[in-house]
Structure 1
């Protein structure tokens, strides 16, 4: 949300480097009454191998800044704002490593970066990019939503967001992959939170009461339902604030363009 990187949240700003999604990985469980929703999230860490297609993007010094999704053995879908203007040689795509302190999984070099040609800014849509790895990853890819798919975006539909981002607006990023369940929001609710929101290539998701959301460091990460990638963490306002769902790139709206790069 632009605040988080969701500044993009998930942006290189809320994301300032990919900022939004995982505050998303926080699930409010048994928080004390009156607790700050941004602190209530107790993200459910994904078990090793539970999300083998979840990708941690790091710079060449090993610092994680965004997320992504393995959609073929050599292709990773992420947010355009995470990689626009970056040198592919300075990027690494880590798959199969839920705990970034470990050394398992695949540490993949990036040979090429495609940014959607209509991307201008996170708030204008088309916030999607495809990375090409120099060698196949061993992990299982995740299928994408297809053009015309509507059910995954039905308001109230439960989805799950994944990432290694902050677990609170002012907290630190997580070393362990986390996830949170977030319901798909209606376009009307999205527009109420973001006056410039237009559906098309975007979709919102988040609990109306707050407490579950993506956050800085989660940008580019996956929004998943029914075993398919339906969204990419793009931007938002804060992390887990009531009435301010996260904004995601709607994969069904750009899957044809993405598929052409696979």
Structure 2
């Protein structure tokens, strides 16, 4: 079994840089799609999504505008993402792109980053603690996601339907989406996930997907949000391929890091 944070290659500042990234494989309903989206690659599992419904979904780009990871707004000054995304590009070259549903447009905001916090326990996605908080220069003009209540495990109950969001590849090794897309995936119980991945840690990870595969995150959207309603329960972390049967997506369990996120996202409120 090959377990890895789904990586892609970007040409940054003249050097070939390995960048961790995961995307959401989805399907476009061509009967109702507009002409531009009708030409997008299709894979069963989701649909084009709207920032009207998910204004907290953002992506990370380099100074050349190349999208390499997803992220999620957690306050007016901060976004959460995967630690391996935060380490993939130098801080001065990271840009947070918010309010841009179609990457080909100039909509929304592009903000640089003043500070990066990475969980002290992070070494590799498969070892857990795959979470980072990026403080932006300026203010994000979009509504943040809600953080889970650590005392309420209901959002992690097996079978709970969650939504994963991203702009990445629509198939393993395939083209990246120009649009924000979403896919519905059920939360998988810890016992089942541990049987799928022997590196699974129920304290810091959560799995979501279908036993038969077909719906998953993929290259281009690591760090992107997994939400139940508007509550952030996970960040895309790693997996074995994209949409393989018996190989669900593995996400950072956000409830384990609520205090850390709040401290980084709202430092003044917490002293």
TM-score (norm 2): 0.85
The 5 A counterparts of 1:144-183 are: 144-183=147-186
1:2 deviates by: 6.6
The 5 A counterparts of 1:184-195 are: 184-195=187-198
Whole-angstrom distance in 1 between the partners of 2:252 and 2:69: 15
1:28 deviates by: 9.2
Q: Which has the higher contact order (CA 8 A, sep 6+)?
A: 1
Change (3 A) 1:21 1:147: farther
Whole-angstrom distance in 1 between the partners of 2:132 and 2:217: 19
Equivalence for 2:139 = 136
- Aligned pair 1:55/2:58, yes or no? yes
Q: How many residues align?
A: 247
What value does the CA root-mean-square deviation take over the aligned residues? Answer: 2.2
Say which one has the larger Rg.
Answer: 2
Provide, for residues 67-124 of structure 1, a one-character-per-residue CA deviation record: whole Å limited to 9, x for no partner.
0000111100000001126422100000111100011111111111111111111011
Equivalence for 1:33 = none
- Aligned pair 1:19/2:21, yes or no? yes
1:48 deviates by: 4.2
- Aligned pair 1:87/2:90, yes or no? yes
Runs of 4+ residues over 4 Å off in structure 1: 27-30
Structure 1 unaligned spans of 5+ = 31-37
1:172 deviates by: 1.2
- Structure 1 residue matching 2:53: 3-state secondary structure: coil
The 5 A counterparts of 1:31-50 are: 40-41=43-44, 43-50=46-53
TM-score (norm 1): 0.88
Change (3 A) 1:42 1:142: same
Structure 2 unaligned spans of 5+ = 10-17, 31-40, 266-271
Equivalence for 1:74 = 77
- Aligned pair 1:8/2:10, yes or no? no
1:18 deviates by: 3.6
Change (3 A) 1:144 1:12: farther
Q: Return the match for 2:249 from 240, 246, 249.
A: 246
Whole-angstrom distance in 2 between the partners of 1:135 and 1:42: 36
